[in-house]
Structure 1
């Protein structure tokens, strides 16, 4: 009888603990779902608002023509689209390789040295640096040096914003790669740099490209650095040392005008900017999923 009583008590305790765990699991799951919904609702409402107000402005002329006179409701945002693609492309060409290589260094070579600690600390500070400050740096370093607003100045400023994000994501992604993969490469006599580039980086390519996408999404909508570096213009691209237009600048200028047609064009430009970022994100993700896209074509040894 005593054993049966003890067994019943143990069973009751286990059932009580199991019930408590299930209840806790349901509460946490409900809280997580509620958090996702709370995050999606404002984002979805913004997207719906942009599409609703901007779709009516889309046309061939809107996408290809230069801006018309103020308040006329004529013209388009062709130079802004072209300038955005050029500036973002050049900034990515500067920032992505630097950020990826710096992340590789911190993950695979630096370890826990004092220099690595300093680099990580400086990188975290750069991540939270106001973009207007970076714009001032670009203005002083390039605009005043060459004597004119230019694509180079804008790309330089945006690349500074981009690099810390890519560095952090690359480092953390490479740390997730199991050490057994590195050891397998070293056991075959493959040099460390080849193991890092062709095995470790290839294993983490999806996460690294996700970091690049996040960085591009961040710089695509920056306005303050561009005001101080590329200035903006109503003309199409004329050279890397000349001013150029960009969608964030065009949206800001259109929103500042007291005309209904300008506001409609501003919504349309915002929609195009979202579509550009979406297109770049999808393209990079498809690139990451493509089999063998980062694999070496030559022997590793």
Structure 2
């Protein structure tokens, strides 16, 4: 062995000795655990969404400063007239004052968060205010006519422009709208849902073509749909203007909306539900009828509401295909028939105060009719998949109790019929692991 090999062996032995030796105690000490009495009070959960006192004072101070600066600027420097100019000038000043107040106490990220929260809540308040204004303006304008019973039970055959509100009503428009929208939904709902099911269950070139045409038809102007039905049925075929023709024109507009909305809803149905149905041996169309459509029932109800809301508020197709009359027409197959949107347009543009009041009342009735359709569709659609109402939960619990009672009664009847077997079954001890034979060991 050479000197180099001996030196390498000594180094390896020294390394192995260092690895096997235990490290000496460095004298480290573990701090004692704090006593239970020394622990402080438990921390409270912070409510992030709750408005703090300093933030509230900052909002109020910024609002007061913005109003004061707006009054000062609009009076001395740049005169503004009207509430719109006041709001346009005061809101940026409010944001600036609020940013300065928050910046004095908080950091940059908190400042940006507070500003975005204020802007978001302002937009929400603005949208809510516009919605209240849209709903409340027709009700306030037609309040005088809505409080009279004759407004719902009479038509305008005897009500002239100078007749008081106590004479005449909009019965003819309500009946016309109800008949037209009923015929429209009877045509479009089966066709729309069937097309949506076809596009989802049978994908291919034809399904893509139907989807493209439906998407393009949703942007079809209402006057074009009215002209199409007017030229085809009234000019070419010689049919008279009627509520049925108006319903067909509304169907041309409503059908693409129902198809598109139903298609989107059916795409959201979980795929594992369909796969489970296929695994149980169900066919494709049976799966669509028993699994897909019941699961998407609430969404399909929303699709029907969207289509009905689009068709029920149209004026130009009804004017072209059904005309206008002040008489009540119960037969949608022949004769002119008025709808609520058309009556609203005619009455409001007449210029007579009593007619204008009746027109606002017609608009309020139209909103009420849309609300009734919404409630009916939600009642038919029900809740989402797996969501039970209180009544359904109570019925489910009552059914479970009845099933349990029947099971216990049958077991008691069997025990009374054959007491020896029941006693033997209750006296038989359960097999334990000690009574089981051990497996034989195989010798190698």
Bucket of the pairwise TM-score, normalised by the shorter protein: 0.7 to 0.9
- Give me the whole-angstrom Cα distance separating, in 1, the residues matched to 2:311 and 2:365: 15
- Give me the whole-angstrom Cα distance separating, in 1, the residues matched to 2:205 and 2:249: 28
- Give me the whole-angstrom Cα distance separating, in 2, the residues matched to 1:165 and 1:65: 34
For the pair 1:129 / 2:217, whether they are aligned, the reply is: no
- Give me the whole-angstrom Cα distance separating, in 2, the residues matched to 1:38 and 1:99: 35
Matched with 1:39 is: 127
Q: Structure 1 residues 173 and 51 mapped into 2: Cα distance closer, same or farther (>3 Å)?
A: same
Matched with 1:62 is: 151
Matched with 1:289 is: 382
Matched with 2:211 is: 120
CA deviation digits over 1:270-300, x for unaligned, max 9?
Answer: 10110010011011101111799xxxxxxxx
Matches within 5 A, 1:8-157: 32-58=120-146, 59-67=148-156, 68-73=159-164, 74-109=167-202, 111=203, 113-144=204-235, 145-157=237-249
> Per the alignment, in what secondary structure is the counterpart of residue 142 of structure 2?
helix
For the pair 1:266 / 2:354, whether they are aligned, the reply is: no
- Give me the whole-angstrom Cα distance separating, in 1, the residues matched to 2:303 and 2:111: 36
Flag structure 2 segments of 5+ consecutive residues without an equivalent.
1-106, 386-444
Question: Which structure has more RCO (C-alpha within 8 Å, separation ≥ 6)?
Answer: 1
- Give me the whole-angstrom Cα distance separating, in 1, the residues matched to 2:189 and 2:115: 41
CA deviation digits over 1:2-41, x for unaligned, max 9?
Answer: xxxxxxxxxxxxxxxxx99998877766655444333322
Matches within 5 A, 1:168-187: 168-187=260-279
Pairing partner for 1:161 from 253, 259, 266 = 253
Q: Is the 8 A contact 1:143 1:150 kept in 2?
A: no
How many residues get paired?
272
Q: How much has 1:255 moved relative to structure 2?
A: 1.0
Matched with 1:10 is: none
Larger Rg computed on CA atoms? 2
TM-score where L is the length of structure 1: 0.84
Q: Is the 8 A contact 1:104 1:174 kept in 2?
A: yes
- Give me the whole-angstrom Cα distance separating, in 2, the residues matched to 1:96 and 1:226: 20
Larger helix percent: 1
Flag structure 1 segments of 5+ consecutive residues without an equivalent.
1-18, 293-301
- Give me the whole-angstrom Cα distance separating, in 1, the residues matched to 2:160 and 2:345: 16
Q: How much has 1:71 moved relative to structure 2?
A: 3.6
Q: Structure 1 residues 173 and 249 mapped into 2: Cα distance closer, same or farther (>3 Å)?
A: same
- Give me the whole-angstrom Cα distance separating, in 2, the residues matched to 1:39 and 1:114: 42
Q: How much has 1:122 moved relative to structure 2?
A: 1.4
For the pair 1:242 / 2:319, whether they are aligned, the reply is: no
Matched with 1:213 is: 305
Q: Structure 1 residues 32 and 201 mapped into 2: Cα distance closer, same or farther (>3 Å)?
A: farther
- Give me the whole-angstrom Cα distance separating, in 1, the residues matched to 2:298 and 2:115: 32
Q: Is the 8 A contact 1:55 1:271 kept in 2?
A: no
Q: Is the 8 A contact 1:107 1:172 kept in 2?
A: no
TM-score where L is the length of structure 2: 0.58
- Give me the whole-angstrom Cα distance separating, in 2, the residues matched to 1:28 and 1:190: 52
Q: CA RMSD in A?
A: 2.3
